[in-house]
């Protein structure tokens, strides 16, 4: 495998997305950010189809767990 060490090039990973079935509508949403199991198009509210897209990996927020139970 060819490993590149350029820091300004984010690593692209094949990511599951839902994209709009309407060819005129370019909207899509990452599956992990989808509001529902079968999300509707965020733009035209039409049906979406499952697909893949090469996207930069989303950095997991390490500080997401705030302890508010005090």
Which residues in this chain contact Zn ion in the complex, by CB under 5 A? 20, 22, 25, 27, 41, 43-44, 46
- Comparison of 49 and 57: residue with beta carbon closer to Zn ion: 49
Terminal alpha carbon distance of the chain: 49
User: CB of residue 50 vs Zn ion: minimum separation in angstroms?
Assistant: 15
CB of residue 28 to Zn ion, shortest distance in Å: 9
Q: Which CB atom, from 13 or from 21, has the smaller least distance to Zn ion?
A: 21
């Amino acid at each position: 495998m060819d490993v590149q060490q350029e820091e300004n090039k984010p690593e692209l990973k094949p990511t599951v997305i839902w994209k709009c079935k309407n060819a005129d509508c370019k909207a899509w949403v990452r599956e992990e950010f989808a509001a529902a199991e079968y999300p509707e198009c965020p733009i035209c509210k039409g049906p979406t189809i499952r697909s893949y897209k090469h996207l930069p990996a989303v950095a997991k927020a390490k500080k997401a767990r705030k302890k508010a139970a005090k």
